[in-house]
Amino acid sequence: MDILKERILREASILTSDVLKLDGVLNHQVDPELTMLMGQEFARRFSGENITKVITVESSGIPIAFATALTLNVPLLFARRKKTLIAEPDALSERVPSFTKGIVTDIMVSRQYLGDGDRVLFIDDIIANGDAARGLLKIIERSGASLVGLGIAVEKAFQAGGRTIREQGIRVESLVRIASLEGGAISFL
Ligand code: 5GP
């Protein structure tokens, strides 16, 4: 998606050779017009799949997932990062390591909102090693819902997440694929 590539080149900065700071575009500030274009692109790529729900993980996935859900005219469900010790008997949860925060968090989805009647499209902002995505994929599988595929705004293709999930036979569509951040330059695939 050329417009997203242009915005990344203009507004992102390279923190280390494997971390891109995308606060102006994805992780802190949100451009509603660009976000709607991303959502429409995902809806176009996954059209005809009879999607009943879009799912993401809070928080940075929510705007793009919302734009996708709005275009598809289906609900958006976001996995919550558990911050409470109150037991939730009706929840599916997984423990996932956080790539940028260096901590583990528990993500959870209530069984009330995801079940075997659903065909879900999973949308996320960035994929690196794929730990966050794999956590939500496990939750989707345990819920009995069918997974249509995974839509990622920015895939860091030099890390294994996207590739290993494709190798599981899951359709992964990325709007932008980054080949490398080496030498202080962003190169796209
Ligand atoms: P993974 O679980 O695939 O290793 O990492 C996925 C999550 O970590 C993304 O949802 C994103 O929030 C964060 N993340 C991973 N790599 C980057 C990066 O280069 N830049 C930013 N801003 N976030 C990242």
pLDDT at 125: 97
Q: Find out whether the beta carbon of 19 lies less than 6 Å from any atom of ligand 1.
A: yes
Tens of pLDDT, residue by residue over 130-166, are: 999 999 999 999 999 999 999 999 999 999 999 999 9
Confirm whether the ipTM is greater than 0.85. Answer: yes
What ligand 1 atom has the least distance to the C-alpha of 127?
3
Residue 117 Cα to ligand 1 middle (Å): 30
Tens of pLDDT, residue by residue over 29-69, are: 999 999 999 999 999 999 999 999 999 999 999 999 999 99
Supply the residue whose CA is at minimum distance from atom 19 of ligand 1. 19
pLDDT at 103: 85
Domains defined for the chain, CATH in brackets: 2-188 (3.40.50.2020)
What ligand 1 atom has the least distance to the C-alpha of 129?
4
pLDDT at 101: 76
pLDDT at 84: 59
Supply the residue whose CA is at minimum distance from atom 6 of ligand 1. 127
Q: Find out whether the beta carbon of 56 lies less than 6 Å from any atom of ligand 1.
A: no
Tens of pLDDT, residue by residue over 67-76, are: 999 999 999 9
Q: Find out whether the beta carbon of 164 lies less than 6 Å from any atom of ligand 1.
A: no
Q: Is 67 annotated as a binding residue?
A: no
Q: Is 160 annotated as a binding residue?
A: no
The amino acid present at 133, given as its one-letter code, is A
What average pLDDT does the chain have?
94
Tens of pLDDT, residue by residue over 81-140, are: 886 556 677 799 999 988 777 788 899 999 999 999 999 999 999 999 999 999 999 999
